[in-house]
Amino acid sequence: MVWTDTDPMVSIKDLHKSFGALEVLKGVSMDIMKGEVICIIGPSGSGKSTLIRCVNALNNFQSGSILVEGQEVNDPDLDKLELRKKVGMVFQQYNLFPHKTAIENIMMAPLLVLKDKKEDVEKLARGLIKKVRLEGKEDSYPGELSGGQQQRVAIARSLAMNPDVMLFDEVTAALDPETVNEVLQTIRDLAEDGMTCILVTHEMGFAREVADHIYFTDRGVIVEHGPPATFFDAAKDPRTIEFLGQIL
Q: Which does 98 bind (CB under 5 to 8 A by kind): Mg ion, another protein, ligand ADP, none?
A: another protein
> Shortest approach of another protein to residue 160 CB, angstroms?
9
Distance separating alpha carbons of residues 81 and 64, to the nearest angstrom:
21
Q: Where are the alpha helices (DSSP H) in 113-203?
A: 118-131, 147-159, 177-192
Which residues lie below 8 Å from residue 217, measured CB to CB, with a gap of 6+?
A: 28, 40, 41, 42, 46, 47, 48, 51, 223
Strands 22-32 and 71-72: unpaired
Contact present, 105 and 125 (Cβ < 8 Å): no
**Dihedral angle over CA of 189, 191, 194, 198, nearest 10:** 150
The DSSP bridge pattern shows strands 87-90 and 71-72 to be: unpaired
**49 part of the interface to ligand ADP, by CB under 6 A:** yes
Query: Between 3 and 141, whose beta carbon lies closer to another protein?
Result: 141
Binder among 109, 124, 129, 190 for another protein (CB under 8 A)? 109
- Is residue 78 near another protein by the rule CB under 8 A? no
Q: Which does 154 bind (CB under 5 to 8 A by kind): another protein, Mg ion, ligand ADP, none?
A: another protein
Of 62-70, 76-84, 119-127, 235-243: span binding another protein (CB under 8 A): 76-84
198 binds another protein (CB under 8 A): no
Contact residues: ligand ADP, CB under 6 A: 19, 22, 24, 42, 44-50
Contact residues: another protein, CB under 8 A: 56, 58, 80-82, 84-85, 87-89, 91, 93, 95-99, 108-109, 112-113, 143, 154, 157-158, 161
